[in-house]
Structure 1
Amino acid sequence: MSASPHQLISMLFDGAGTAIRAAALHMREGQVAEKGKAISKALDIVNNGLLAALDREKGGELADRMASLYDYIARLLLNANLRNDPASLDEAGRLLADLGEAWNQIKPAAHQGAE
């Protein structure tokens, strides 16, 4: 309840990564229904969390590029689910992990002066 907006986005990246790792495990074990649920959770986080959090007015071109990247990640996840493709799932996971790591390197403006 007391998480900052920055922390909430970090939590979204973490949640998407967890869902993708679960999907990969279910894919390897042939658990189709569970794989689908995990990929659906990751898609929900990307589309209704990360993408929805973008402020396209303030973010300008960067926000537009992030939206395109989130769209690409969503297509990778859909492909992974439809074709049972671990490579697409891995790529989506790597991209989100890289973005999450970069996000965590950003210090919110309110905390920069305190550190």
Structure 2
Amino acid sequence: MSYQQYQQAYQTNSVTTASPGELTLMLYNGCLKFIKLAKQAMEDKDYQVKNTNIQKAQKIIQELMITLDEGADISKQMMPIYDFINRRLMEANIQNDSAILDEASDLVAEFRDTWKQVIQLTRSTQTQGANV
């Protein structure tokens, strides 16, 4: 088995064994990765790679949008922000503006960091509950 095959097997296993919370965290990290790659491509004037990576980031944001629980109050607050991020990514792509990519990246990073804290708190609470 080659290194790439091992890496692919590991990634597949990571996704299939992850909790829903960990999957969401992976989506945020993937979105940030694609925004970073798009920004680098923009600087390199490789517009095809820029476009591809921005579209990948947009698809992740759209996936996060459609998986929101419409009944939850927090979802009503998150949806407009996701929509804003998606529109800013589109504008960055059209205008070749790395500052707009930075803005979108900052918002996604805030969501990711908050989500990471939620996962840590949930694990801590579950561990304490198991020890009682």
TM-score where L is the length of structure 1 = 0.92
Matches within 5 A, 1:42-57: 42-48=57-63, 50-57=64-71
CA distance in 2, matches of 1:11, 1:113: 21
Which sections of structure 2, spanning at least 5 residues, go unmatched? 1-15
Counterpart in the other structure of 2:12? none
Counterpart in the other structure of 1:18? 33
CA distance in 2, matches of 1:101, 1:43: 19
Task: Calculate percent identity across the aligned residue pairs.
Answer: 33
- Encode CA deviations 1:12-61: one digit per residue, 9 max, x unaligned: 0000000000000000000000000000000000002x11221011x12x
- The structure-2 alpha-carbon separation of the partners of 1:106 and 1:74, relative to structure 1 and needing over 3 Å to count, comes to same
| Higher relative contact order structure (alpha carbons within 8 Å, sequence separation ≥ 6) | 1
Q: Which amino acid aligns with 1:114?
A: T
Shift in Å, 1:113: 2.5
Matched, 1:75 2:92: no
Shift in Å, 1:109: 4.4
Counterpart in the other structure of 2:99? 87
Q: Which amino acid aligns with 2:85?
A: I
Matches within 5 A, 1:4-15: 4-15=19-30
Counterpart in the other structure of 1:100? 112
Counterpart in the other structure of 1:31? 46
In our comparison, the structure showing a higher alpha carbon Rg is: 2
Counterpart in the other structure of 2:75? 63
Shift in Å, 1:112: 1.8
Matched, 1:114 2:127: yes
Shift in Å, 1:111: 5.7
Corresponding residue pairs, total: 112
